[in-house]
Amino acid sequence: MRTFFTTALVAASLSATSLTMAADRPSHPSDIQFSELNFTPPMASDFRHELSNGVPVFIAESHEFPLITIRFSFRGGEYMVPVERTGMSGLTGGLMRSGGTASMTPDKLDEEFDFLAANVSANIGDTTAGASLNCLTSNLDQAFGLFMEMIQNPRFDEDRFEIRRGQILESFESRNDAGIGIAIRELGYLMWGDEHFEGRQPTRETIESITIDDMKALHAKIFHPGNLMIAVTGDVDQGEILAFLEESMNSWSVGDISPEIPQPVQAYEPGVYYYEKDQPQVQVLIAHRGIERDDADAVDVEVMNQILGGSGFTSRITNTVRTQEGLAYTAGSVFSNRVDYPGMFMSYFFTKTATTALATRLVFGEIDKIQTEEATTEEIEIIQNSLVETFPRNFESKGAMMGLFMSDERTGRPDDYWQTYRDKVRAVSASDVQEAALEYLNPASAVIMVVGPVDEIKAGNAESEADANRISTMVEFFGGKSTVLPERDPESLKPVDSE
């Protein structure tokens, strides 16, 4: 009987709650009211400190869990590697972690980190290098001591070196398997050249030429306090961790600061470029020089590109090429900006051989449209709202936020950038979008990189298309002039005919 009354009481309560919720429920999703999003971005200066040797340290305390994360970021990377040693940065960074230390074999170092439940990594990228440690607060002293030994005195164990080098060389065998990989590689050669770090690729010859002494020399140039920034998050006391870092690093010698990042000198030739590959899907990349990250018009360009092809299904290229015409599953555009020199604008899509020319025509048509017609108020507001409402994600984790502050200081981003960003986004007008498109979209100066069966692609869709207005061939672009790039050996990347 008690169970019956309890059940009835719960049912009555749920019924009353449901009636209340139904009364409060909007009749349509568009009627839902949200409170205004109020978010003030934090200032880097509130988290920034400096050691006596000049190393900046960004600290964000977080006491939810007894864990600490320490990230080291160093200036320097692949751009410092000679062309004949291309690929050495990645090999060096990986072996710093896997290759042991001067006093410990790789197996022993792995065992020690595992015993302490410490997650440790090291890497060297194109322009920056890094290392990170995540460990329990209770064993910070031990874990950080091992971490510093790994950074300061890596062994570069010969056996681990040979294993890793063999893995890299083996991976080259499949380098021509994926069409998108070929497209990106060949576009890099065309846009940046085969000697600039952005365009060049490792080969069997460059990897086999690398010695342990080479890696030690690169390590010594990059990994020292003169190039260092530190971020600390987790269960720490600000004063205590600063004192800890000060004591831990007071004997670490400051070396020469890594050189400036070199400018690309490649003067690319606009046109259509093909790479022959027998495959059912064609990869197309349309690219030209872009802008620098801190360009005065960078926000206008960002909004313009989001409308053109950067915002997924709401963008024009995606809507036209994929949704309306059904020619590609993936289609869009991006401005990949650089800090030290203009980056690259790129539109992309993957389609069938017969529809390659039609899809290319549609992309060029959208570029022409955004240059000749003002974007609608609705289009601009959608992008503005998206950029403003997702803005807090830049700061949603303390680790990401500290990393952002380190990157901003290293690259000289204006101090008020994040404080003024949303206002700049909201200020973008239809005329700003059109002016940005006219200034920074240059289809006549583009490279069209196409990977697939060349003859079929050139033929277009005349045989399969009944509508004469939709018939398209690659003759439409650059007066029909094109270049068929040579097939490359996957290991040497030299033209096959030349070997």
Per residue in 42-95, pLDDT (tens digit) is 999 999 999 999 999 999 999 999 999 999 999 999 999 999 999 999 999 999
Residue range 460-475: mean pLDDT, rounded: 90
What confidence score (pLDDT) does residue 270 get?
96
Higher pLDDT residue, 113 or 23? Answer: 113
For β-strands 447-452 and 119-124, DSSP reports them as unpaired
What confidence score (pLDDT) does residue 12 get?
53
What confidence score (pLDDT) does residue 466 get?
84
Give the burial string for 112-136 (b: 16+ CB within 10 Å, else e).
bbeebebebebbbeebbbbbbbbbb
Residue range 324-328: mean pLDDT, rounded: 95
- Asked if residues 411 and 354 have their Cβ atoms less than 8 Å apart, the reply is no
- Asked if residues 97 and 157 have their Cβ atoms less than 8 Å apart, the reply is no
Burial (0-12, 13-18, 19+ Cβ within 10 Å), 321: buried
- Asked if residues 237 and 63 have their Cβ atoms less than 8 Å apart, the reply is no
The whole-chain average pLDDT of the chain stands at 93
Q: How far apart are CA 76 and CA 78, in angstroms?
A: 7
Instruction: For the chain, give the percent of residues with pLDDT over 90.
Output: 89
Q: pLDDT tens digit string along 188-225? A: 999 999 999 999 999 999 999 999 999 999 999 999 99
Q: Following DSSP, what letter does each residue of 37-103 receive, concatenated? A: ----PPPGGGTEEE-TTS-EEEEEE--SSSEEEEEEEEE--GGGS-GGGTTHHHHHHHHHHHS-BTT
Give the burial string for 204-222 (b: 16+ CB within 10 Å, else e).
eebbeebeeebbeebbebb
Tell me the pLDDT band of 300, cut-offs 50, 70 and 90: very high
What confidence score (pLDDT) does residue 28 get?
80
Give the burial string for 172-200 (b: 16+ CB within 10 Å, else e).
beebbeebeebbbbbbbbbbbbeebbbbb
What confidence score (pLDDT) does residue 262 get?
96
Tell me the pLDDT band of 296, cut-offs 50, 70 and 90: very high
What confidence score (pLDDT) does residue 434 get?
98
The amino acid sitting at 130 is G
- Closest of 191, 5, 160, 179 to residue 95, by C-alpha: 160
Residue range 271-282: mean pLDDT, rounded: 97
User: Start-end ranges of CATH 3.30.830.10 in the chain?
Assistant: 45-249, 271-408+421-491
Return the H-helix or E-strand segment holding 286. strand 281-289
User: The pTM is what?
Assistant: 0.90
Tell me the pLDDT band of 179, cut-offs 50, 70 and 90: very high
What confidence score (pLDDT) does residue 15 get?
58
Tell me the pLDDT band of 38, cut-offs 50, 70 and 90: confident
Best CATH choice for the domain 271-408+421-491 from the list 2.60.120.10, 3.30.70.1520, 3.30.830.10, 3.10.520.10: 3.30.830.10
What confidence score (pLDDT) does residue 7 get?
56
Q: How far apart are CA 481 and CA 171, in angstroms?
A: 35
Tell me which residue has tokens 């303390």: 398
What confidence score (pLDDT) does residue 27 get?
79
Q: pLDDT tens digit string along 354-388? A: 999 999 999 999 999 999 999 999 999 999 999 99
For β-strands 447-452 and 271-276, DSSP reports them as parallel
Lowest-pLDDT choice from 5-19, 99-113, 465-479: 5-19
Q: Is the pLDDT of residue 22 over 90?
A: no
4, 23, 45, 392, 456 from 12: Cα distances, Å:
12, 17, 56, 42, 70
- Asked if residues 91 and 120 have their Cβ atoms less than 8 Å apart, the reply is no
Q: How far apart are CA 418 and CA 299, in angstroms?
A: 12
At 282, list the tokens.
């064609």
Tell me the pLDDT band of 32, cut-offs 50, 70 and 90: confident
Lowest-pLDDT choice from 120-129, 185-194, 232-241, 458-467: 458-467
Q: How far apart are CA 409 and CA 228, in angstroms?
A: 12
Strand partners, 123: 130
Assign domain 45-249 to a CATH class: alpha beta
